[in-house]
Amino acid sequence: MNHNANYPPSFLLLQQEGHLISSCLALGLTELRAANVHNKGAFYSSLLNISVGMERLMKAIIIMQHMLNNDLLAPTKNQLKNYGHNIIELYDECVKISISNKVKLPNRRSLNNINQKLLELLSDFAQTTRYHNLDALSTQQAGKDPLEHWGKIMLLILEQDVTKQQRGKILKTARMVASNIDDMTMTIMQGLNKQPLTTEEALALPGLHDQAVGYAVLHLMNIFSPIRDLISELSRLAYGFDVAPFPQMQEFLEWIYDDRQYVLRKRKWP
């Protein structure tokens, strides 16, 4: 039997948005897991996809809440446009929505320092710094370099999350190899801060970045998970109508799972 429910446009449009959000976030995390100083492009594609996915996820939440409060009328284009690409403001708005729906979404000040800095990085990138390289060619006021911003966050992660023993093992191996090849090797490379790298640094950084980005994904999962729970609760409320105004949006995000061992082991998402 072929049965197609008469879904309203809002259901089908948010369904399509759910596919887009899931794809952006999954691609962003996969790219982040592959990023290092020798693969800088992966940092950019990661930031692009994660910032777009997060922005659209939180805007979907705002739209759904507005519909629930306004006889299923969606906000106007101008109302939604007022939020811009400011991920920090969108996150704060979602916190307000979570409070009214009795869902636990930590306010920004209660997040750990790395998660706060990740939100700042993503918000900056969504608004302006995705154009940093081009802007910096024509002006001295180009804002933060997103790669340098990433580098500072990864240093924090290495210090706070990666064990001293693991860092030491990577550095020791790089030092040993560099000492054996230094007299026959010329290193012409720059780090994420555009500063020249020594041979030892060029050898050590991929391993250090591999450790750091695994934990960066874990921190992002800790941010995503309660947002997924919020959209799940709003989706549940769709059952209160004769015809659901939106799909079960959490189903597009069922792969978001903040178990530490699982996340650190996984390299490709979903």
pLDDT above 80 for 246: yes
pLDDT above 60 for 249: yes
**pLDDT computed for residue 143 by the predictor:** 78
What is the value of pTM for the model shown?
0.95
Q: Where are the domains of the chain?
A: 10-128+216-265
Q: Kindly report the average pLDDT of the chain as a whole number.
A: 95
Q: What is the DSSP string of the chain?
A: --------HHHHHHHHHHHHHHHHHHHHHHHHHH--TT-HHHHHHHHHHHHHHHHHHHHHHHHHHHHHHTTTPPPPHHHHHTTTT-HHHHHHHHHHHHHHTT-----GGGS-HHHHHHHHHHHHHHHTGGGHHHHHHH-S-----HHHHHHHHHHHHHHHTS-HHHHHHHHHHHHHHHHHHGGG-----B-TTS-B--HHHHHHHHHHHHHHHHHHHHHHHHHHHHHHHHHHHHHHGGGGSSS-SS--GGGGGTT----HHHHHH--S--
5: pLDDT confidence band, cut at 50, 70 and 90? low
| Contact in structure between 211 and 170 (CB atoms under 8 Å) | yes
Closest by alpha carbon to 63, among 252, 249, 254, 256? 249
pLDDT above 70 for 225: yes
- Could you give phi then psi for residue 120, rounded to 5 degrees? -65, -45
In this predicted model, what pLDDT tens digit does every residue of 154-200 receive, in sequence order?
A: 999 999 999 999 999 999 999 999 999 989 999 999 999 999 999 99
Q: Per-residue pLDDT averaged across 3-11, rounded?
A: 82
Q: Per-residue pLDDT averaged across 226-231, rounded?
A: 98
Q: What whole-number distance in Å separates Cα of residue 19 and Cα of residue 253?
A: 9
Q: Per-residue pLDDT averaged across 104-118, rounded?
A: 98
pLDDT above 60 for 2: no
pLDDT above 60 for 1: no
pLDDT above 60 for 17: yes
**pLDDT computed for residue 138 by the predictor:** 87
**pLDDT computed for residue 142 by the predictor:** 67
**pLDDT computed for residue 6 by the predictor:** 84
Q: What whole-number distance in Å separates Cα of residue 18 and Cα of residue 26?
A: 12
In this predicted model, what pLDDT tens digit does every residue of 116-154 receive, in sequence order?
A: 999 999 999 999 999 999 999 987 766 789 999 999 999
**% of residues, the chain, pLDDT over 90:** 92
